[in-house]
Amino acid sequence: MKIDMEYMDDSTVCDSVSSLVEGCRLPVHMTGTNDWPLAEIISIKDVQGSKCYYVHYVDFNKRLDEWVTEESLDTRKVHFPRKDVGTGTGVSTPKKISIGGGGSVPPPPMAVISRPSSPVNNSELLNGNAVLAAALQKKMNRKRKGPSLDNEDSQDGPVPLVPAMPGPRQSGSMVSHHDDIVTRMKNVEMIELGRHRLKPWYFAPYPQEMVNLPCIYICEFCLKYRKSRKCLERHLVKCNLRHPPGNEIYRKENISFFEIDGRKNKVYAQNLCLLAKLFLDHKTLYYDTDPFLFYVMTVFDNRGFHIVGYFSKEKESTEDYNVACILTMPPYQRKGYGKLLIEFSYELSKFEGKTGSPEKPLSDLGLLSYRSYWAQTILEILMSMKPVGENEKPQITINEICELTSIKKEDVISTLQNLNLINYYKGQYIITLSKEIIQSQYKAMETRKIRIDPKCLHWTPKDWGKRSKW
């Protein structure tokens, strides 16, 4: 259950920044803009005698969260948290967990990450160790059976959530609803992946000795992480991978897709989830990747196959999800690769003879990509239809659209409604395409330079239900 922090009704003029505490809300100058949106102070630290403030801009995505100095704060209108509620959301601080002999648990390779919570002024908790230990305890206590009564469509503010990452759970959804204090702040400054240096958007539970470094160096082929470029260079001499492990099931020109089994290539799958967590928020991250398949898209050059993005998929989905988690790496965004990933997921569904849908709720960027893909795909079908006879209009049913596209019925209907294409006339539903819609569709299709070619897909679906174990 989401518990919002309560604030005093009246704003207060703050005499000094020294009276500011975690949980205060006030206007803050957003770096790179002329705007002063309302922001919440998440954490405060001293840097060489000066205070720095980690702020979250209210109603903005968490990827814009940042450290600011006193000069960026407008103390003329400060909302202090109510004293009777405190500066937290009612979520208790995670404690170190001891198992067996009483010693602290060493961090497992993956961890539990869930929705952001209220701030905590404890530097020791701003790393993966406490989360990692909690993950191990949660895995031990979790049972794989029994339905979940959580509301899987709950949202925190105007931004939809992202489907969670692979891991054990009770229901078809991997969305977590338990706030973890340690995941509120970005903990990795920079990563280097191949030719790209990237600033992460969100928290990811890399080991503490890694997050204290100015940059984490990641092998772009096996995704193992190293402390320095020299360590990475030594690793590259020994690393014999030049493409993701697994089967190459698609290749056209320089684009390939590889299918990775989360059980057979566990370390790679875990490192992939860990990397993806840097750019995906509101997710649950576990270290059990066995029930999942990962489809990694790459571009090829003379140095090897470079990761562009990926999506994960349950081997068995009771909810007919054909995507559990999907990500296009930041250097390749806005280039059509996101829609290509989505198109490939539906191509797999066509081979399986099923309709599919992404696990919901979606992230803000994911929702935009899917809505755009659904609209373009459905309009492409409608515009290609021919009338059966003279002076007759083309006819098609919702079920026929689903069969042709493998898009689930609910998504087809919602897309047609969002486009205002369905009208009720004389006892039946009529789909009406305006000239503006048609022109917009032609323009959109011109920009989609890369498409999936089904002839280049060499893949046979497996019936995981008949297998005793993965």
The pLDDT, as a whole number, for residue 129 is 46
CB atoms within 10 A of CB 311: 25
The helix (run of H) or strand (run of E) holding residue 338 is helix 337-352
Please give the structure tokens belonging to residue 1.
């259950």
Please count the CA atoms within 13 angstroms of the CA of 200 that sit on its side-chain side: 26
Going by the DSSP 8-state scheme, the letter that residue 348 receives in this structure is: H
Reported as a single tens digit per residue, the pLDDT across 22-75 is: 999 999 999 999 999 999 999 998 888 889 999 999 999 888 999 999 999 998
Please give the structure tokens belonging to residue 95.
């404690």
pTM for the predicted model, two decimal places: 0.75
Check residue 380 and give left, alpha or beta (phi > 0: left; psi -120 to 50: alpha): alpha
The pLDDT, as a whole number, for residue 245 is 94
Check residue 466 and give left, alpha or beta (phi > 0: left; psi -120 to 50: alpha): alpha
User: Cα(14)–Cα(20) distance, rounded to whole angstroms?
Assistant: 8
Of all residues in the chain, the percent with pLDDT exceeding 70 is: 73
Task: Give the distance from CA 337 to its chain's centroid.
Answer: 16
Q: Which span out of 107-116, 155-164, 230-239 was modeled with the highest average pLDDT? A: 230-239
Query: Residues 6 or more apart from 20 whose CB is under 8 A from it?
Result: 14, 26, 41, 44, 53, 73, 75, 78
The pLDDT, as a whole number, for residue 307 is 97
The pLDDT, as a whole number, for residue 154 is 32
Please give the structure tokens belonging to residue 454.
């089904």
Reported as a single tens digit per residue, the pLDDT across 369-391 is: 999 999 999 999 999 888 776 76
User: Cα(62)–Cα(58) distance, rounded to whole angstroms?
Assistant: 9
Please give the residue that has the higher pLDDT: either 378 or 362.
378
Query: Residues 6 or more apart from 268 whose CB is under 8 A from it?
Result: 222, 223, 244, 245, 260
User: Cα(30)–Cα(344) distance, rounded to whole angstroms?
Assistant: 38
Place of tokens 């509120």: 184
Q: State the pLDDT confidence band at 281, using cuts at 50, 70 and 90.
A: confident
Please give the residue that has the higher pLDDT: either 212 or 13.
212
Distances (CA, A) of 118 to 22, 85, 163, 244, 269: 9, 12, 21, 38, 30
Measured CA angle at 384 (ends 378, 390), to 5 deg: 130
The pLDDT, as a whole number, for residue 292 is 94
User: Cα(164)–Cα(285) distance, rounded to whole angstroms?
Assistant: 7
436 in catalytic set = no
The pLDDT, as a whole number, for residue 370 is 95
| Mean pLDDT calculated for residue range 165-181 | 41
Main-chain phi, psi angles of 171, to 5 degrees: -130, -175
Weakest-pLDDT range from 118-132, 172-186, 398-412: 118-132
Q: State the pLDDT confidence band at 172, using cuts at 50, 70 and 90.
A: very low
Nearest to 271 by CA among 294, 303, 250, 247: 294
| Mean pLDDT calculated for residue range 340-363 | 93
The pLDDT, as a whole number, for residue 164 is 42
Q: State the pLDDT confidence band at 161, using cuts at 50, 70 and 90.
A: very low
Per-position b or e across 229-249, b if 16+ CB within 10 A of its CB? eeebeeeeeeeebebbbbeeb
pLDDT at 117 over 60: no
Query: Residues 6 or more apart from 227 whose CB is under 8 A from it?
Result: 209, 210, 213, 216, 217
| Mean pLDDT calculated for residue range 447-451 | 89
Indicate the SS3 state at residue 315. coil
Query: Residues 6 or more apart from 32 whose CB is under 8 A from it?
Result: none
User: Cα(358)–Cα(235) distance, rounded to whole angstroms?
Assistant: 36
pLDDT at 396 over 80: yes
The pLDDT, as a whole number, for residue 184 is 80
CB 251 within 8 A of CB 258: no
Give Rg (Cα) of the chain: 24
Catalytic residue among 124, 248, 359, 380: 359
pLDDT at 5 over 90: no
The pLDDT, as a whole number, for residue 7 is 52
Q: Which span out of 177-181, 223-227, 419-423 was modeled with the highest average pLDDT? A: 223-227
Per-position b or e across 121-143, b if 16+ CB within 10 A of its CB? eeeebbbbbbbbbbbbbbbeeee
The pLDDT, as a whole number, for residue 327 is 93
CB 259 within 8 A of CB 249: yes
pLDDT at 104 over 70: no
**What pairs with residue 321 in β-bridges?**
357
The helix (run of H) or strand (run of E) holding residue 42 is strand 38-47
Weakest-pLDDT range from 128-137, 226-235, 344-353: 128-137
Going by the DSSP 8-state scheme, the letter that residue 438 receives in this structure is: H
Q: State the pLDDT confidence band at 114, using cuts at 50, 70 and 90.
A: very low
The pLDDT, as a whole number, for residue 283 is 64
Going by the DSSP 8-state scheme, the letter that residue 95 receives in this structure is: -
The pLDDT, as a whole number, for residue 276 is 94
Do the strands 191-193 and 216-218 form a parallel or antiparallel pair, or are they unpaired? parallel
Main-chain phi, psi angles of 104, to 5 degrees: -70, 150
pLDDT at 136 over 50: no
Going by the DSSP 8-state scheme, the letter that residue 443 receives in this structure is: H
The pLDDT, as a whole number, for residue 264 is 94
CB 167 within 8 A of CB 262: no
Instruction: Show the beta-strand stretches assigned E in 64-130.
Output: 66-69
> What's the mean pLDDT when you consider all of the chain?
78
**What pairs with residue 326 in β-bridges?**
311
